[in-house]
Amino acid sequence: LGGYDTVDFPIKFPPRFAGCYHCQIVLKSYCDIRVYKIECVVNADQADAQLEFLTPAYQTLTQEIPISNISSEDWRFEAILEGQCFHGPPVINVPVGETVQYPLTFKPVAE
């Protein structure tokens, strides 16, 4: 670092909700001003979900799964479905501030 010392500057904050938090830190000395912009993305505690499909034999069932984008950037998801008889779009785009439904379809081929 060219002879410069470094100083840790720990930052803690207890977020109230999932979302994107912006912060600006201004450090001043008699001969210098530094501005640091920080963006923290907080995810919801529960990232796992479980769906249960009940349908008569050979009948197709579609479940709309809402995906809400509360971040500051557009999202592009690639869906990888595992298991027989499940179908859905391979890619889904969720613009900032919107909720898009992902249609997960179950098409049973046997009882």
For the cut 60, the answer to whether the pLDDT of residue 1 exceeds it is no
For the cut 80, the answer to whether the pLDDT of residue 44 exceeds it is no
Q: What tens digit of pLDDT does each residue of 71-108 get?
A: 888 999 898 888 888 899 999 999 999 999 999 998 88
**DSSP, res 3:** T
pLDDT band at 33 (very low <50, low <70, confident <90, very high): very high
For the cut 70, the answer to whether the pLDDT of residue 32 exceeds it is yes
- Tell me what pLDDT residue 99 has: 93
pLDDT band at 3 (very low <50, low <70, confident <90, very high): low
For the cut 80, the answer to whether the pLDDT of residue 49 exceeds it is no
**Is 68 within 8 Å of 101 (Cβ atoms)?**
no
Q: CB within 8 A of 70, min separation 6: which ones?
A: 18, 19, 20, 97
- Tell me what pLDDT residue 95 has: 94
